Amino acid sequence: MFGLFRKPPTPDTDYGQADLELRSARDRALAGDWAAGRDLIRSTGKDWELRGRRLAVLSSAVAESSQWLDAWEATAPDDPTVAILRAGALMDQAGKARGQASARNTSREQFERFQQLSALATEAGHRAAELNPDDPYPWATSMTSMLANGRQQRDEFLVAMDESVKRDPYNFDAHLMAVTFRCAKWYGSHEQMFDAAREPAAAAPAGSSVAMLPLLAHFEYALREFGFDTRAESLSTKASYFRRPEVIGEIDACAAKWRGAGEPRLIGRGITLRHWLALANYLADHDRKGTKALLAQIGPYLGNTATYGYFWMRQTEGFHAVWKWADK
């Protein structure tokens, strides 16, 4: 795909990315075959990262059209997967209601709707946790719902975090949400955010996806420090931060640990983490050859990679910029 004078691939923005089994099951469910969604989640077992990712994609499909989940619930009203998909769909709707703008550019009505839907998601998440006590994902969903009222729910957030990691110590969804909750644009600080990223990354075994969380912390730091509210700062200003030797060193160390158990899979968080690494390398002007290999693995699968939006107005612009840089 990287031949001379080749154009960047047309981005595939399907949320399912390279998990073709997931994409097929979701499409069948939306067409009325709800058992396809049930069977997919059952087959995933206790692979918590893969399960969480698949639940997130199916939840997004419920937010789009809930008829198939309604039919599933009518047949199995106490199925814990139904409950967690309800919670996830409500959080998906809450996120869309709030939008992606900074707090000062978000209306009161948007905040109120965000809080209403988040509260409903919390209730649905609690029911899912009761129905499936071994599952860390409902607790991670509850953590997400607390973004709506985090200043009043700090203690509850810590309880939910504890419950999630008690079931899966290096649960990617839980630790990702901890980094988000504790970043400066939400309810924490740069220091708290980096601690939330670096501590599990250091403690996790080789091959763990949480090893890559410090990259997200660096993206968040650059976004906040260099033009968060207006995005007026130039890309070069943000990129200069990534070219610091200590930042490049941490990027390389995280990538080495993530790959320490062999080449990471493409499903689960594999595509997203490859995007993170490719973006970090681009911003640092570092390891062009390695980035080219990463993009060959990624192929067209962009999905929803929010971190590109930290630096460009559209995710596809960022993806193409990284691709063109790597292909020089």
In a domain, 199, yes or no: no
In a domain, 313, yes or no: yes
- Considering the domain architecture, whether residues 31 and 168 belong to the same structural domain is answered as yes
- Mean pLDDT value of segment 206-216: 98
What's the pLDDT band for 31 if we cut at 50, 70, 90?
Answer: very high
pLDDT tens digit sequence for 156-177: 999 999 999 999 999 999 999 9
In a domain, 146, yes or no: yes
- Residue 242 lies in domain: 205-328
- Considering the domain architecture, whether residues 129 and 260 belong to the same structural domain is answered as no
- Considering the domain architecture, whether residues 143 and 210 belong to the same structural domain is answered as no
- A 10 A CB-CB count for 199 gives 14
**pLDDT tops 70 at residue 229:** no
Which of 141, 157, 189 is where one domain is finished?
Answer: 189
Highest mean pLDDT among 92-96, 223-227, 276-280: 276-280
Which of 126, 156, 189 is where one domain is finished?
Answer: 189
What's the CATH number where 138 sits?
A: 1.25.40.10
Overall number of domains in the chain = 2
